[in-house]
A and B are shown apart, each in its own frame.
Chain A
Amino acid sequence: MDIWEYFQSREREIGEQSAAWDEGVHPYAEEHGSYGQRGRIWGRLILTDQAFLQVHEVVEVTGTGVHRIEYAYFVIYDGAELWGIERDPTHDPALHQHDRDHNRFPCDVISFNDALTMAWEVVSSEEELRADTDT
């Protein structure tokens, strides 16, 4: 597998979860000279009129497949950060998540698909909370 096959599989997951990149944005890129072995995803997935998921991945092909050596997924709702999860090898712990107050907690690895599912759940909870507040 090279990173373009990985990017294609990512596109399928996004379509299956009813999300879409910002129009006109090209989120996938290969590192020039890596011969399909390293690349990045960077952009935001539109979830609703108020919410989107920011996505960043650095991916590398190794002997056992494609690995996300860095990633960040953050849910933004009405301009505010509600939830985020990161793998940053320069931070301790490298795997951590953030709540809406930007408090940091250690966490386990999360797949992109699960992060997108989580993003929908966070957005859904926020919309229910706001609907309750409005009534």
Chain B
Amino acid sequence: MEKRYYTADGLRRSLDAFEERFGMSSEDFYAAYSAYDAERMVGISAFYRHSWASFFRDWRRLSGDDFAASVKRELELA
């Protein structure tokens, strides 16, 4: 089996493909997904919802975006 790898950049390109296919940003999608807001996810199958959300979480983790958001939040609270 040939080994293949993914990185934050690769996940970002996957997110771009979802965004292009479904016409919304990953941030907007994830907000709807987290809120169980089915109306904002009409036309996106359950499997694609699950996958998109999972890719988005991992992209944030690998890109350090989670940490950046935490720093921003801390600065807002200071």
Contact = CB atoms under 8 A, between A and B. Distances in A.
Contacts of B54: 56, 58, 70, 88
A7 B1 contact: yes
Interface residues of A, number: 26
Interface size class on chain B is 10 to 19
Interface string B42-78: 0001110011011001100010000000000000000
Interface in B1-57: 1-7, 34, 45-47, 50-51, 53-54, 57
A90 interface: yes
A73 to B, nearest CB: 8
Interface in A1-40: 4, 7-8, 11, 26, 28-33, 40
A42 B51 CA distance: 8
B7 A32 contact: yes
Contact of A56 (B3, B4, B34, B51): B51
A11 B2 CA distance: 13
Interface of A: 4, 7-8, 11, 26, 28-33, 40, 42, 54, 56, 58, 70, 72, 74, 81, 84, 86, 88, 90, 98, 102
